[in-house]
Structures are given as structure tokens and as C-alpha cells.
Structure 1
Amino acid sequence: MEFRRATATLPPARSTGGSETLDPYLQPAPRPVRRRMRLITLAAILALIGAVSAAYYFAMRPATLKIAVGPPAGDDVRLIQALAQVFSRERNTVRIRPIVTDGPAASASALRADAADLAVIRGDLPVPRNARSVAVLHKNLAVLWAPGRAGGKRKKTPGITAITELVGKRVGVIGRTEANAGLLRVILQQYGVDPSKVENVQLAVGDVPDAVQNRKVDAFLAAGPLNSKVISEALAATASSGHEPVFLGIDSSEALVANHPTYEAATIPAGAFGGGPVRPSDDIKTISFSHYIVARDGVADSTIATFTQQLFTARQTVMTENPLAAKIETPDTDKDAVIPVQPGAAAYVDGDEKSFLDRYSDLIWFSLMGLSATGSIGAWFASYLRKDERISNASQRDRLLDMLASARRCDSCDELDAMQTEADAILRDALNCYENGAIDSAALTAFSIALEQFHNAVADRKTLLAAVPPAPLRPARPQAV
């Protein structure tokens, strides 16, 4: 009677035709949860691999910076294009894409409008407020000269010998950019010459011989590095017309620089431009200004630091193709610099570049926190999916304890065998739950103890039933008629 009460909720196994059939409730349940967990785990692993691959791709893919430079076919354009080719050939982290403009003023406008990340600008022109210096591409010298005046077949007497003699004259400004005309005005004003009384004519190098022979201009102004091909060709063209150049020195260069901080006092050394006779024959005082590579605000400091490092590394390679690369210099990192230095470039110049961990420590920290949170959420979700298994396992554990009590009072060996078969099925299901992670090792140990006690109880009960003889049958009582 007590056994029936204990098994009322979970009926024992039934035997039909000599074959034992377990109750469907006690059969090991199908494993859709286990299948789902495998699929979820596989999906999570694939998602993690995809996320890591995507992060690696975006972290390691080259960053391309647009750089505005001009005028077309100028020395600066050729130098930047050579640098771009080296960056691409060496598969550097940062690449540059030249955007050819009409000149430094147009390049500054492109940077001001955020149409470019970098720009090559002149330091003596208005600098965009969002510009930060990255490097000095080169320094340009102002070179003033006048054609010598021939006094006979052999003797040549100079024409104009000083800047103050340019009043009422025409000056040929070599180059397409109008910025050199502004340079001429600054020089004339320093010497008290009214710029409105000096006519300037823009010329190309090829126009110099005709301008000298036909006396279209009285003097020339060019600006460029000491090794500028344009200046050397213009001087050679002047001399080829039978008029040896007479250099006009800017002796008041220091005073001019004091009034115009964007310029620097400089000296043209004797023989800087070669020629038959040495040009110039003596050192000539002049002024210079810088061509800067500037970056706009908003470009990552780490990207500019990498670009600066690549720039000075590639300089040695580019020098063999373009000698102008030898003029690349580090920017002024002082706080009172004409153009404030970009922090990434300053870090490279000062040797304060951040390491990988310094740059990405915050990202790594938050990523680890995110992974930890994701793991916790995943563990909770997996535990939630195994909730039905845990409930079933708890019910079967209670059933096993009920069978343990019933086995001690059972009077039938067949019922004991059926309970043993049921206990085996419960054990199989418990092992599956443990394999799936629905229960831990402590719960499995408790199951093992309960199962051992059950089997001991069954063995003891069978021994007792075998030792006690069956009770004799009592004769039936006669029924009263």
C-alpha cells in the first residue's frame, strides 16, 4: 500500500509479454537542448572569430591620407608623388593620395574646407586655423637678379645693382603662383620702394631669353631651394642671352624678418648655382620661407605620428630619385612656433611616441570587460536553456529516493527488478545531464550515493525474500447455504 502511494505520481515500469517497457515520463528525454547548445556554442565561436578578424582588419588596414599639393608639374608635386609611391611599394601603414591644386594657396583652401587631410603650404601665406605643422618640406630662398648690360663686345657693365633702383622698372616674377608677387611687395616695402611703381610680369623659365633680349623686363625674382632646377635654368637662360646675371642682395634681411616673422634671414653661398663664372661670386644675403606639410585638426595623432616616421624613413630612398627630399626637416616644436606643431609629429620628434599598449590600453580594458560580461550573459543563457533538464533531473532524483524506500518493503522480486531497470534509466539520464552541464559534479555525486543505497536495498530485500519460505495456502472456508 505504501509503495503504491510512493509511486502514485510516477508509476513504476510495466512489463508486457516478458519485455520491460519504461513509462514515457521516465524515458531519457530527447536532447534538443544539447543540440541547441552545440549550435549556439558554434555560432558564438564563429561570431568571436569574425569579430576578432574584423577588428584585426580595421586595425591593420592602411590609412590613406589625402594631401593637397600644387602647382601641377611643380617640384612639390613630384616630391609628394615620389613619397606616395614609396609608401605604397613598401606597404606602409599610412598611405598618401596626392590631390593636385593650382598652388599653395589652393592647397591651404582645400585643407581649410576639410577636403584634404594634409596639405603643402607656404609659410608666408595665410595659414588655415585648422592647420598643424607635420614637417618642413623645404625652405625656399628669394633670388633677385638683373641682366648685366653689355658695354661692348668684351666689356660688360652692370645695369641695375640695387633693389632701390627698381623704381619704375619691370620685374619678371618666375613661376605660376601669385604668391611670389606678394614676396616682391614685401621686399620693395622694406627698401621704401612703392610697389605700385614697380610692374611685375609673370614669366615661365622658357620666357627668360626672350625677355632679356627684347628688354621686356629689367630684373627677375625667383623663389626655391638652393638646388632648384627652375632657378638654375632661369639664371642659365639669362646668361645665354649675353647678359651675365647681377645678383641683388637683400642686405636688410634681419630687419625684414623682424617685421615679418614668417620669413627667415638666409644666405646664398658663393657658387650655389654653378655656371661658367661662379654664380654668385660672393655670398649674397636674402630671405627664406618654408614650405610645410600640415595636417588638419581631426586627423588621429597616432596616424600623424606614423606618417611622420614613414616620411623621414622614406626620405633616404626618395633622395636618389628626387634630391629635393634631402631638404625635408622636422617641424618647430616650440610653443611660439609660427605654425603650431601637430601632437603626433611632436611625439615623433621628441621621442615620446606611444606604444601599442599606451594607445589601445583603454580599448583592451573595455574589450576584456565586454568579453567578461558577454561570457556571464552566455553562461546565464545556457543555464536558462538547461532549466527543463534540471527540473527533470530533480524529479528523477526524488523518484529514486521514493524507490529506495519502496524497495525495503517490497515483497516481489519482479517489482524489484523493474525498479532496478528504472534506476538504470535514471542514472543514464543523470549522466547525460552532467555531460550537458545541466548538473554539476556535486549533484552527480549525490546521485551516485542514492543509487548505491538503492542497489544495496534491493540486494538486501532479495536476500531476505529468498530466505523466508512462502506462506502456506489456507483452505477456503465453506460458504453457508
Structure 2
Amino acid sequence: MSTEGPTSSPTEPPPRRPKVIKTNQQQVLLYVVLTLLLSLATVWGGRAMLHNSETLTFAVGPPNSDEALFAAKLATLLKNNASRFRIKIVNNADNAKALAQFDRKQADLAVLRTDTKVPLRARTLAILEHDLVLLLGPGNKKIKSLAELKKKKVAVVAENESSLAFVRSILDIPDGPDAAKIQMAPQGATLDKLFAPASGFGAVIAIVHASRAVRDKAYEQVARRGGFTLNAIDEAKALARRIPGISSETLTAGTLSASPEIPDDDLDTIGLEWLLVAQSRMSAGTAGELARVVYENKSALGLDNGFASRIEPASVEKDAYVMAHQGAADYINDDTKSFMDKYSDLMYLGAAALSVIGSIFAAIYAKITRIAPEKAGELSTAVLDVGERIEHAHSLDQLECLQDELEGILRGAVIGLRDGTISTDGLDTFKLGYEFVRDEIGMRRDYLKRHCGEADKIAQDTAPPQQDESKIVVVKTAQSA
């Protein structure tokens, strides 16, 4: 009689759980990639918004005026260079009305000469041109001082009537009979006609663009005929200090004529500046970028008549007649910007986007999509299930199967704790359950071994005695005999 009973097939191992770590790593990798892509998209979108087309209104005088022609060139340059800026040109009857429009905040840009009333919110982007004041006398007659002009009839050669008021201011001639001696020269009048005895003019004050004066051959032609004398303005420095907007200028030898050389030596005079101005409320970035375009394209912005052919950076001095715009000043003071300076805004935007988007995906992963590791305490159920089946094991083979299953659970727990698929929550409970079931299996094994031994002994005692066939044969033989 066998006490081991029927052997059962080994218990099927539990199905393998999904690889939590691999799945979570794939999710983390996916979220990292999405975070980077969305951050790049945010930076690209932010840059597109920052560099979105911006239209700037440019208030100028008549279409044929120098400032209007300059504005048209600037607009064409920006368009051809695919700049984000667009220039809308608004013409006015004269430059004074253009500045009034600028003063009413109806324009972003304007051009002014420093003898005009400067709008309160005007800030300089660039110096476009210098005007020179030329004091001319007829023939070889020298004019020693400006005070002499108060006794003479003076013709003012200039492009607009505002120059007449400027000449009267530097001559310190108030409105009245004496002011009538200072007159605008007739349109198109030459120096020969102005110095003719019939004209009655004892002097001519010409206010001309410096770039145009160098190119104008009319001065050389008249000088060859001995038609005029260029006089110094010895009061130049004093006038520059007394009247805001006036600058002290020096004419180098041969500026107006190379043969004969006029002047024959460096000569002091006064001048005015033409400024490209912007509203003070214009952003520093916009002003700096616009100033950069103007400075780097000076040759392309100069007019055929010479205006704006020698563009200069705005004066960043605190005592400048018109303060430089902060954006232009920043560019002038630091012409070569570092990588961080150029792209700091985009880097800050990228860092902010990376932080926000990364936080959102981290929250989604932690709260929603992450596959949480199984708690060690939950494995106690499987351990106790093995324990419940111990009493039904009637053979050592069946018990060995339960032992293998228990060891498989332990092995899986150890591997899971190592790779993170099982957390340490409830680990003490699992250990307690495992030890309890292990001990139960040991006790059951001892029980089965002990009872198997007793069963074998009982079977031997109760078995019928076996007859010795050899003795039977002997007996039969004796009887036969």
C-alpha cells in the first residue's frame, strides 16, 4: 500500500506581470521628447510673435523733400531685406506740420533740424546730415563779424523759410524794420545775381547740406571769376554755447573749391544737424534694431543730392540737444553683442516653457499614466494561498510543488524589489507570511514522512505469513513414500 497517494502535476507558474519598468521608461522618454518639441514650438512661436511685422508711421514733408525721399529709401531697404519693419510714409505740407503730427503721437518717426522746436517725446536714432552756415561776401570784401551784417541787406539761401528765422536769431535781430533787411533769396538765384550791384545785397548767408556743398561745382565756378569771399564766423563757439541746437563746425581747406582753394585754410563756422527721431515710448528693441539697420546701410540710404550720405550714430552724451533713444544708445555703446545678449529673451522663454510644460507632463505621468509598482504586501495573498493548500497535500510530491511555488513567489519579489516593479510597502507583512507558510510546509513534510513510516510498519505486521514451498515439497514427498 502506497501512502504517497496520486502525484499531481506541478502547479502552473503565475502569468508574468507586464514589465512595469520598461513601460514607465517608455512613457518618461515619450514625455521628455514631447516636452522638448513643445518647448521648441513655443520658442519658435514666441520668436515669430516678437518678430512679427511692425508698421512704423514716418511723418515727413512734401514728397520731393529730402526727408520724404529718405523715408522712401528706408522703406524700400526694409522691404528688400525682409525686415519685420514696414514704413508707412505720411506726407505733410512742410516739415513743421510733420513734426506737429509727430508731437501728437500720430507718427513713430520723423526728421528734424536742430533749429526747430523739438517735440518733448523725440529721441534720436541717428544723425542724418549736417548743415553748414556759409557767410559769403561779394568779391574780395571780408566780413569781420556778424555784427557788421546788421547794417547790410542780407540774402538767405536755403530750402525753406525756417532758415530765415534761424539767421535772424543768430544775428540777434528782433522783429521790426531791421528784420526786413534779412530776406530769403529768390528761388533759383545764383551768387552772381545776388552779388550784382542791382540786387543791393551786401552779404549772403547760405545754409546748405555739408555733403551737398562738397559736390556743388557752382562755388568753384563763381570763385574763379572772383565772385565771392568765404568768411569765418569767429563767434561760432560762443553761438554754440548760447543757442541750443547750433554746433561749432570747421571747414577744411578746399571744401568749396579746389582751384582756387576755398577756404585756403581751415575755417570756423556754425552748423545744424538733421536728426532721425523716434517716439520715446518706442521699445528699446525696436529702436535698437532700426538704428542698426540705418547704421549698417548708410551707403544705401544716401540720396543722390548728397543728403544722408554721411550718417552718424546719435550722440549718447547726457547734454545732447536731443537725447539718444535708449535702444539706439544700447546698440552704440555695445556694438558687438554676445550670444547671451542676442538670444537671452529666447533662452528665458525656452526655459520658462520647458519648466511649465515639463511640470505638466510630470504631473500627468505621476497621477495618470504611470504604472505604479506592485506593493510587496499584496504578494502576501499569493503566499497565504499557498499556505491554504498545504493541508490538501497528501504526498511529498504535492508538497514539493507548493514549495517550488512559494520559492517562485519569493524569487519574483526579490527581482521586483531590485528592478523597481515591486515597492517595499508591506514588505514586513510579506516576510511574516512567507516565513509562516515555509514553516507550515516544513511541518507538513515532517508529518508526511512520519506517517509514511508508520503505514509501512503496519502493512508489514498485518501481511499473512508466506509458506515455504520447499518444505511443502518435502512433506508431500514423505507422504508419498
TM-score w.r.t. the length of structure 1 is 0.62
Alignment equivalent of 1:399, drawn from 381, 385, 393: 381
Contact kept? 2:133, 2:269, Cα under 8 Å:
yes
For residues 130 and 214 of structure 2, the distance between their equivalents in structure 1, rounded to whole angstroms, comes to 15
For residues 270 and 87 of structure 1, the distance between their equivalents in structure 2, rounded to whole angstroms, comes to 38
Contact kept? 1:209, 1:237, Cα under 8 Å:
no
Q: How many residues align?
A: 435
How has the CA–CA distance of structure 1 residues 270 and 392 changed in structure 2, closer, same or farther, with 3 Å as cutoff?
A: closer
How has the CA–CA distance of structure 1 residues 281 and 355 changed in structure 2, closer, same or farther, with 3 Å as cutoff?
A: closer
Tell me how far 1:327 sits from its aligned partner.
2.5
**Bigger-Rg structure (1/2):** 2
Alignment equivalent of 1:343, drawn from 326, 333, 341: 326
Contact kept? 2:59, 2:101, Cα under 8 Å:
yes
How has the CA–CA distance of structure 1 residues 363 and 351 changed in structure 2, closer, same or farther, with 3 Å as cutoff?
A: closer
Gaps (5+ residues) in structure 2? 1-11, 456-481
Secondary structure class of the residue paired with 1:228: helix
Q: Does 1:182 align with 2:182?
A: no
For residues 403 and 42 of structure 1, the distance between their equivalents in structure 2, rounded to whole angstroms, comes to 44
Alignment equivalent of 1:227, drawn from 208, 211, 215: 211
For residues 311 and 65 of structure 1, the distance between their equivalents in structure 2, rounded to whole angstroms, comes to 14
For residues 79 and 71 of structure 2, the distance between their equivalents in structure 1, rounded to whole angstroms, comes to 12
Tell me how far 1:130 sits from its aligned partner.
1.7
Q: Identify the residue that residue 103 of structure 2 maps to in structure 1.
A: 112
Contact kept? 2:302, 2:308, Cα under 8 Å:
yes
In structure 1, give the amino acid aligned to 2:246. Answer: Y
Tell me how far 1:97 sits from its aligned partner.
2.6
Contact kept? 1:270, 1:279, Cα under 8 Å:
yes
Q: Identify the residue that residue 371 of structure 1 maps to in structure 2.
A: 354
For residues 37 and 105 of structure 2, the distance between their equivalents in structure 1, rounded to whole angstroms, comes to 40
Q: Identify the residue that residue 163 of structure 1 maps to in structure 2.
A: 149
Residue by residue over 1:422-472, the C-alpha shift from the partner in whole angstroms, topping out at 9 and shown as x without a partner, is x999x99xx99x99x9x56768x9999999999999999999999887x99
RMSD: 6.0
In structure 2, give the amino acid aligned to 1:50. Answer: A
Contact kept? 2:59, 2:91, Cα under 8 Å:
yes
How has the CA–CA distance of structure 1 residues 350 and 417 changed in structure 2, closer, same or farther, with 3 Å as cutoff?
A: same
Tell me how far 1:190 sits from its aligned partner.
5.8
Q: How does 1:138-287 map to 2 (within 5 A)?
A: 138-145=129-136, 163-167=149-153, 171=155, 173-175=157-159, 177-189=160-172, 196-198=179-181, 200-201=183-184, 204-205=187-188, 218=201, 221-228=205-212, 232=216, 244-245=227-228, 250-269=233-252, 271-274=254-257, 286-287=269-270
Q: Identify the residue that residue 274 of structure 2 maps to in structure 1.
A: 291
Q: Identify the residue that residue 99 of structure 1 maps to in structure 2.
A: 89
Contact kept? 1:145, 1:246, Cα under 8 Å:
yes
For residues 161 and 68 of structure 2, the distance between their equivalents in structure 1, rounded to whole angstroms, comes to 17
Tell me how far 1:57 sits from its aligned partner.
2.9
Tell me how far 1:124 sits from its aligned partner.
1.5
For residues 318 and 209 of structure 1, the distance between their equivalents in structure 2, rounded to whole angstroms, comes to 30
Contact kept? 2:237, 2:248, Cα under 8 Å:
yes
Q: Identify the residue that residue 72 of structure 1 maps to in structure 2.
A: 63
Secondary structure class of the residue paired with 1:345: helix
Q: Identify the residue that residue 126 of structure 2 maps to in structure 1.
A: 135
Q: How does 1:417-436 map to 2 (within 5 A)?
A: none
Contact kept? 1:407, 1:461, Cα under 8 Å:
no
In structure 2, give the amino acid aligned to 1:402. Answer: L
Q: Identify the residue that residue 46 of structure 2 maps to in structure 1.
A: 55
For residues 457 and 365 of structure 1, the distance between their equivalents in structure 2, rounded to whole angstroms, comes to 64
Residue by residue over 1:406-427, the C-alpha shift from the partner in whole angstroms, topping out at 9 and shown as x without a partner, is 3444438999999999x999x9
Tell me how far 1:288 sits from its aligned partner.
0.5
Q: Identify the residue that residue 14 of structure 1 maps to in structure 2.
A: none
Alignment equivalent of 1:311, drawn from 294, 298, 321: 294
Contact kept? 2:57, 2:90, Cα under 8 Å:
no
Secondary structure class of the residue paired with 1:327: coil
Contact kept? 1:141, 1:224, Cα under 8 Å:
yes
Tell me how far 1:228 sits from its aligned partner.
1.3
For residues 255 and 341 of structure 1, the distance between their equivalents in structure 2, rounded to whole angstroms, comes to 24
In structure 2, give the amino acid aligned to 1:328. Answer: I
In structure 1, give the amino acid aligned to 2:248. Answer: A
Contact kept? 2:39, 2:354, Cα under 8 Å:
no
Residue by residue over 1:85-131, the C-alpha shift from the partner in whole angstroms, topping out at 9 and shown as x without a partner, is 55555556x75636354454344334433344443211121222222
In structure 2, give the amino acid aligned to 1:123. Answer: T
For residues 68 and 52 of structure 1, the distance between their equivalents in structure 2, rounded to whole angstroms, comes to 35
Seq. identity, %: 22
Contact kept? 1:136, 1:328, Cα under 8 Å:
yes
How has the CA–CA distance of structure 1 residues 321 and 164 changed in structure 2, closer, same or farther, with 3 Å as cutoff?
A: closer
Contact kept? 1:70, 1:76, Cα under 8 Å:
yes
For residues 91 and 270 of structure 1, the distance between their equivalents in structure 2, rounded to whole angstroms, comes to 43
In structure 1, give the amino acid aligned to 2:164. Answer: A
Contact kept? 1:404, 1:453, Cα under 8 Å:
no
Alignment equivalent of 1:330, drawn from 270, 289, 313: 313
For residues 322 and 284 of structure 1, the distance between their equivalents in structure 2, rounded to whole angstroms, comes to 24
In structure 1, give the amino acid aligned to 2:41. Answer: G
Gaps (5+ residues) in structure 1? 1-19, 149-155, 473-481
